[in-house]
Amino acid sequence: MITVMVVDDEISLTKLLKLMIERAFPGAIVVTVHSGDQAWDYIQANSNHLRFDLVLTDVRMPNGNGVVLMQRIKRFFPRTHIVAMSGLQEAGTEIADAFIPKPLDLNVLTNALKEVLGRNIA
């Protein structure tokens, strides 16, 4: 079973991405949050019983940006894959396993997620 966290301050986008991931990866557990701070709090609060295979995160958000979130994840959970999303090529995104430009092309995003998670797909 694959566990994914979607982090974006655009609530409608997180809902769309959750549906897309659930269709692409049947049985996946998908958690949505709306800021980097909220994501980190959730990861820490649930780390004893839930490990994320992948975090799909926007880079620019109020209340905790994606670069800081990615740095924390790579430091404390190095096996978690990260896919960054942004309308701009941003400094700090090189620590992500993949970068997807916004506006999103859902086919490109789906293929990137499958490539990054490839070894985890049964």
Structure confidence at residue 122 as a pLDDT band (50, 70, 90): very low
Residues 6+ positions from 111 with CB-CB distance below 8 Å: none
User: pLDDT per residue over 44-83, tens digit each?
Assistant: 999 999 999 999 999 998 888 899 999 999 999 999 999 9
- Say yes or no to pLDDT of 33 above 70: yes
Residue 40: inside a domain, yes or no?
yes
**Which tokens sit at 67?**
């670069």
**Which tokens sit at 70?**
């990615």
Residue 78: inside a domain, yes or no?
yes
Residue 37: inside a domain, yes or no?
yes
Residue 46: inside a domain, yes or no?
yes
Long-range CB contacts (< 8 A, 24+ apart) of 9-14?
A: 9/34, 9/35, 9/58, 9/61, 9/62, 9/63, 10/58, 13/104
Helix (H, G, I), strand (E, B) or coil at 76: helix
Residue 12: inside a domain, yes or no?
yes
Domain CATH code at residue 80: 3.40.50.2300
How far is the C-alpha of 76 from the C-alpha of 13, rounded, in Å? 27
Domain range holding 44?
A: 3-51+68-90+97-120
User: pLDDT per residue over 5-25, tens digit each?
Assistant: 999 999 999 999 999 999 999
Structure confidence at residue 107 as a pLDDT band (50, 70, 90): very high
Q: How many domains does the chain have?
A: 1
